[in-house]
């Protein structure tokens, strides 16, 4: 039986080699879907607010690049920073080095000049141009070994390293189905070799690039990056050293009370930061409007708004009070279907808001004093992968105010 199965594997290898010229022809003449995917235009960096932040480097093609999302906050780097911050109870700063044309050999070169001693953990993503050609399995094993050797040498032999495997190519390559099967068979073999090499080394973890659901397709979108970050984060968090987070002092609490009497909100630095957070929320969520809001016991007011017209203070309460009194995400996917809001002035006239999502902003003493909100003029489904992003924007708001 073993001889027969070995013969089948050999036949499959020959079939792949014979089919590869047709794969190359298809790639050349058929418009490729990956070329139409959006990519982040912001700085290749993501950060989750918290004390004593860990530094993580995400390096490699494709998945590191953030294909399919318009911001690294919605890509692998952003989701990973937020997942790690939740697990470690510390901040996390993620730097991203990526290029869609990077090969395994290019990644090894990048490792050599990345100054890995500056980082607490490393995430390598594989794929790129390596999936566009048949790689000898012997050569792939040799190159993976050389890459991991370079990491060990540059990182002092103790850098926690995770390797995210190659995803099936269904959503990035446009090819006839029989040729796509050949490509995916080759990807599966490369992943098997990579996993074997990772398992043979202490401190290196291999994580398959699986689909976020039972579907076999792996779409390049925010929920997929969140899924991969959830798979990567636990092993990384375990390897990062634990530190004690100092409790808030009474001095900080008193200062926080001063901040939220309105004086700190009026400073130029805080105002600029809140405006940047609000604009980021609008762009990242793709909504027609966004706001950073605050309130006291007698009134609600908007500190920063974008794209939602004139929002008078007396009309603010019904929308925002739910976020102000809830310690988690508040979502109204269609305000017309909620009797509490169907007759609200913002729904029936003015900005005509049909979608709302908000995450509360807390003072150092735990009191909820505001929210980061996004709005839209049409109903929409809230992507659960975006909850951590809205939470992070709320944390950034808290941090910006507490610093002044």
What is the tens place of the pLDDT at every residue in 42-96? 899 999 988 889 999 999 987 898 888 989 999 999 999 999 999 998 999 999 9
Q: What is the DSSP string of 393-404?
A: HHHHHHHHHHT-
Q: Average pLDDT of 293-312?
A: 60
Structure tokens at 399: 């941090």
Quick one: pLDDT at residue 262?
53
User: pLDDT above 90 covers what percent of the chain?
Assistant: 27
Q: Give the mean pLDDT of the chain.
A: 80
Quick one: pLDDT at residue 256?
44
Give the closest residue to 299 by CA, choosing from 313, 320, 319, 315: 313
Cα distance between residue 201 and residue 113, in whole Å: 22
pLDDT band at 364 (very low <50, low <70, confident <90, very high): confident
Count of H helices and E strands in the chain? Answer: 11, 11
Quick one: pLDDT at residue 103?
87
Cα distance between residue 358 and residue 318, in whole Å: 13
pLDDT at 25 over 90: no
Helix or strand run (H / E) with residue 206: strand 204-207
Quick one: pLDDT at residue 319?
65
Cα distance between residue 213 and residue 215, in whole Å: 5
Q: Average pLDDT of 306-326?
A: 57
Quick one: pLDDT at residue 233?
95
Give the closest residue to 294 by CA, choosing from 331, 263, 269: 263
The predicted-structure confidence for 218-277, as pLDDT tens digits, reads as follows 888 898 999 999 999 999 998 886 433 344 444 444 444 444 555 566 677 777 888 888
Quick one: pLDDT at residue 177?
81
Let me know: does 151 contact 116? Beta carbons within 8 Å: yes
pLDDT band at 304 (very low <50, low <70, confident <90, very high): low
pLDDT band at 176 (very low <50, low <70, confident <90, very high): confident
Quick one: pLDDT at residue 81?
95
List the domains of the chain with CATH numbers.
2-239 (3.40.50.1110), 250-402 (3.30.450.40)
Strand order in the sheet with 300-306: 300-306, 289-295, 368-376, 355-362, 330-332
Cα distance between residue 147 and residue 110, in whole Å: 10
Quick one: pLDDT at residue 323?
58
pLDDT band at 124 (very low <50, low <70, confident <90, very high): very high
| Higher pLDDT among residues 4 and 87, named by residue | 87
Distances (CA, A) of 91 to 51, 83, 243: 5, 10, 11
| Higher pLDDT among residues 202 and 124, named by residue | 124
Quick one: pLDDT at residue 242?
46
Which of 178-192, 307-321, 327-341, 360-374 shows the lowest mean pLDDT across its residues? 307-321
Reduced to 3 states, what is the DSSP secondary structure of residue 378? coil
Quick one: pLDDT at residue 207?
96
């Amino acid at each position: 039986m073993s001889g027969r199965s070995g013969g089948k594997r050999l036949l499959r290898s020959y079939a792949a080699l014979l089919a590869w010229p047709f794969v190359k022809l298809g790639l050349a003449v058929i418009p490729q879907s990956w070329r139409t995917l959006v990519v982040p235009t912001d700085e290749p960096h993501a950060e989750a607010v918290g004390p004593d932040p860990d530094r993580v480097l995400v390096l490699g093609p494709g998945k590191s690049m953030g294909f399919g999302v318009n911001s690294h906050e919605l890509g692998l780097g952003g989701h990973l920073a937020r997942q790690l911050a939740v697990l470690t109870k510390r901040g996390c700063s993620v730097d991203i080095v990526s290029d869609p044309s990077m090969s395994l050999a290019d990644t090894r070169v990048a490792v050599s000049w990345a100054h890995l001693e500056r980082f607490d953990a490393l995430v390598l993503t594989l794929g790129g141009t390596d999936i566009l050609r048949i790689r000898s399995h012997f050569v792939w094993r040799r190159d993976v070994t050389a890459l991991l050797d370079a990491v060990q040498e540059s990182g002092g032999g103790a850098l926690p390293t995770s390797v995210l495997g190659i995803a099936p190519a269904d959503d990035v390559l446009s090819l006839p189905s029989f040729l796509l099967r050949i490509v995916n068979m080759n990807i599966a073999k490369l992943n098997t070799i990579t996993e074997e090499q990772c398992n043979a080394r202490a401190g290196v973890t291999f994580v398959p690039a699986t689909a976020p659901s039972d579907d076999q397709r792996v779409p390049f979108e925010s929920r997929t990056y969140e899924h991969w970050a959830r798979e990567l984060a636990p092993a990384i968090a375990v390897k990062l050293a634990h530190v004690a987070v100092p409790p808030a002092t009474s001095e900080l609490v008193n200062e926080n009370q001063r901040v939220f009497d309105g004086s700190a909100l009026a400073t130029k630095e805080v105002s600029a930061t809140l405006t940047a957070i609000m604009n980021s929320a609008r762009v990242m969520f793709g909504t027609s409007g966004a706001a950073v809001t605050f309130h006291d016991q007698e009134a609600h007011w908007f500190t920063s708004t974008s794209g939602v017209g004139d929002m008078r203070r007396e009309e603010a309460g019904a929308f925002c009070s739910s976020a102000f009194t809830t310690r988690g995400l508040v979502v109204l996917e269609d305000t017309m279907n909620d009797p509490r809001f169907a007759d609200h002035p913002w729904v029936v006239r003015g900005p005509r808001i049909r979608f709302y999502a908000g995450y509360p902003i807390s003072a150092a003493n735990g009191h909820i004093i505001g929210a980061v909100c996004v709005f839209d003029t049409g109903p929409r489904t809230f992507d659960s992968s975006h909850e951590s992003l809205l939470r992070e924007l709320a944390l950034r708001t808290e941090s910006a105010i507490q610093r002044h």
